[in-house]
């Protein structure tokens, strides 16, 4: 018999379901992801630290879990929410079932709830703090715990996901690139390596001098979790490197760059999470379907340096998705050009970074 589990949101909404994965209790900001596949990459994306992910596609786990499709050293989501978790799987690379993988990594999951109703609620009311529990089934108690949970605003989570010391991703390459790890995904590093980059990965706490010691041709600012406003140390480091070398930022790296230019960031109502977000390049009018995972955005208009211009916007809500400096070799995008999972429309941004270093 399946063990009962409950998802409770801070606004009092409660969903009853069944446990899969680890037993216990987990809290985080509840968001929905519209990707139809790629759940293993989503689970291991460090940007999801502090969040519990609801998959909108109804059947998850049917191709199991393998050793190749991880994007970091382990899963970082706080909890996983699905309509139906497949007990059986079929794929030639698969090594275990999704539920067993979550249990082994101590990730609490819930299945059997109405994920459509949850998604519509979040879409209308905004992302909510929530809690999944298999041990406390009292609605009032769980709602209270959800209300009291920390959420994302004001939190520095990158120290919980970054590397502890610098390391070399690969040994050879024409271009020396320092990648600042705020929760970097492996596929970013693969893209850089594929383009003849020798990549040194440094923790987000690295100082300007440590970055310069590698004599890099370019600086890459990675994705990551939490609130960019809580990261003054990395903002100050990036501020000191502006104008000294080409810089490319994505996701949190885009937000860090925006703040380094003196701009403001703000919390989105429900964020963008999934593999089908339409973005338009304002310069070329080209539309890309992109992979996204962010709950904060840059207010490009607040940046004092008017050489920094808005280059991309989201076609759903018109929020900023990219910027560049008109005189310096610096640009960034809010979305994930490396995908994993997601479409490949935006791979060309890595090529542009190479061009700036040549």
Residue 17 lies in a domain: yes
Contact indicator for 74, 101 with CB cutoff of 8 Å: no
Is pTM beyond 0.85 here?
yes
Q: Do 262 and 315 belong together in one domain?
A: yes
Q: What is the mean pLDDT of the chain?
A: 97
- Measured CA to CA, the distance from residue 145 to residue 12 in angstroms comes to 11
Q: Do 99 and 23 belong together in one domain?
A: yes
What is the number of other CB atoms lying within 10 angstroms of the CB of residue 47?
A: 31
Query: Is a pLDDT exceeding 70 seen at residue 150?
Result: yes
CA-CA-CA-CA dihedral for 220, 157, 291, 211, to nearest 10: 0
Residue 153 lies in a domain: no
Phi, psi of 301 (to 5 degrees): -65, -20
DSSP 269-335: EEEEEEEEEEEEETTT--EEEEEEEEEEEEEGGG-S-TTEEEEEEETTT--EEEEEESSSSEEEESS
From the list 285, 271, 274, 282, the residue with the least C-alpha distance to 336 is 274
Contact indicator for 293, 251 with CB cutoff of 8 Å: yes
Q: Do 115 and 245 belong together in one domain?
A: no
How much of the chain, in percent, has pLDDT values that exceed 70?
100
Q: Do 212 and 143 belong together in one domain?
A: no
Query: Is a pLDDT exceeding 90 seen at residue 2?
Result: no
Task: Tell me whether the omega of the peptide bond preceding residue 304 falls within 30 degrees of 0, making it cis.
Answer: no
Q: Do 182 and 282 belong together in one domain?
A: yes
- DSSP β-bridge partners for residue 109: 20, 80
Q: Do 208 and 318 belong together in one domain?
A: yes
Q: Do 39 and 101 belong together in one domain?
A: yes
Alpha helix (H) ranges present in 213-276?
Answer: 232-239, 252-260
Domain boundary among 113, 148, 183: 148
- Measured CA to CA, the distance from residue 70 to residue 49 in angstroms comes to 15
Query: Is a pLDDT exceeding 90 seen at residue 24?
Result: yes
Alpha helix (H) ranges present in the chain?
Answer: 39-43, 98-104, 115-125, 139-148, 186-194, 208-212, 232-239, 252-260, 348-357
List the structure tokens of 218. Answer: 């370019």
Residue 63 lies in a domain: yes
pLDDT digits (tens, 9 = 90+) for 250-304: 999 999 999 999 999 999 998 999 999 999 999 999 999 999 999 999 999 999 9
- Measured CA to CA, the distance from residue 297 to residue 267 in angstroms comes to 7
Cα distance between the two ends of the chain: 62
CA distances from 250 to 75, 147, 293, 350 (A): 21, 31, 11, 11
Give how many domains the chain has, as a whole number: 2
Residue 53 lies in a domain: yes
Greatest distance between any 2 Cα atoms in the chain: 64
Query: Is a pLDDT exceeding 80 seen at residue 116?
Result: yes
* CATH number assigned to the domain comprising residue 105: 3.50.30.20
Q: Average pLDDT for residues 148-156, to the nearest whole number? A: 95
Q: Do 280 and 336 belong together in one domain?
A: yes
Phi, psi of 139 (to 5 degrees): -60, -50
Active site residues: 251, 336, 338
The boundaries of the domain holding residue 103 are 4-148
What is the number of other CB atoms lying within 10 angstroms of the CB of residue 168?
A: 11
Q: Do 167 and 123 belong together in one domain?
A: no
- Measured CA to CA, the distance from residue 85 to residue 101 in angstroms comes to 12
pLDDT digits (tens, 9 = 90+) for 213-228: 999 999 999 999 999 9
The single residue listed with the structure tokens 């979790």 is: 225
Q: What is the pLDDT of residue 270?
A: 83
Name every residue whose Cβ is closer than 8 Å to that of residue 160 and which is 6 or more positions away in sequence: 49, 225
Q: Do 164 and 137 belong together in one domain?
A: no
Query: Is a pLDDT exceeding 70 seen at residue 1?
Result: no
């Amino acid at each position: 018999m399946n063990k009962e589990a409950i998802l409770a949101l801070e606004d009092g909404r409660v969903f009853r379901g069944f446990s899969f994965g680890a037993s216990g209790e987990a809290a985080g900001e509840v968001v929905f992801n519209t990707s139809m596949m790629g759940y293993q990459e989503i689970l291991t994306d460090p940007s999801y630290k502090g969040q519990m992910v609801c998959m909108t596609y109804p059947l998850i786990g049917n191709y199991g879990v393998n050793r190749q499709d991880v994007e970091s050293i382990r899963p970082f989501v706080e909890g996983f929410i699905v309509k139906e978790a497949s007990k059986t799987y079929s794929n030639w690379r698969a090594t275990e079932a999704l539920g067993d993988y979550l249990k082994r990594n101590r990730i609490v999951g819930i299945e059997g709830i109405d994920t459509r109703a949850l998604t519509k609620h979040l879409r209308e009311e905004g992302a909510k703090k929530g809690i999944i529990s298999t041990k406390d089934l009292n609605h009032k108690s769980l709602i209270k715990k959800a209300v009291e949970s920390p959420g994302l605003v004001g939190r520095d989570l990158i120290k919980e996901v970054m590397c502890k010391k610098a390391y070399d991703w690969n040994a050879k390459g024409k271009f020396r690139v320092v990648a600042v790890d705020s929760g970097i995904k492996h596929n970013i590093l693969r893209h850089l390596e594929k383009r003849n980059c020798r990549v040194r990965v440094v923790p987000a706490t690295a100082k300007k001098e440590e970055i310069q010691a590698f004599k890099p041709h370019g600086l890459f600012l990675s994705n990551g979790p939490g609130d960019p406003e809580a990261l003054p140390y990395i903002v100050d480091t990036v501020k000191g490197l502006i104008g000294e070398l080409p810089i490319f930022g994505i996701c949190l790296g885009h937000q860090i760059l925006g703040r380094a230019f003196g701009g403001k960031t703000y919390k989105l109502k429900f964020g963008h999470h999934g593999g089908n977000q339409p973005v338009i390049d304002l310069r070329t009018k080209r539309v890309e379907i992109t992979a996204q995972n962010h709950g904060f955005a840059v207010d490009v208009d607040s940046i004092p340096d008017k050489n920094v211009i808005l280059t991309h916007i989201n076609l759903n809500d018109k929020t900023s998705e990219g910027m560049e400096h008109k005189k310096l070799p610096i640009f960034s995008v809010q979305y994930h050009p490396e995908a994993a999972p997601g479409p490949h429309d935006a791979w060309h941004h890595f090529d542009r970074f190479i061009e700036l270093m040549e």
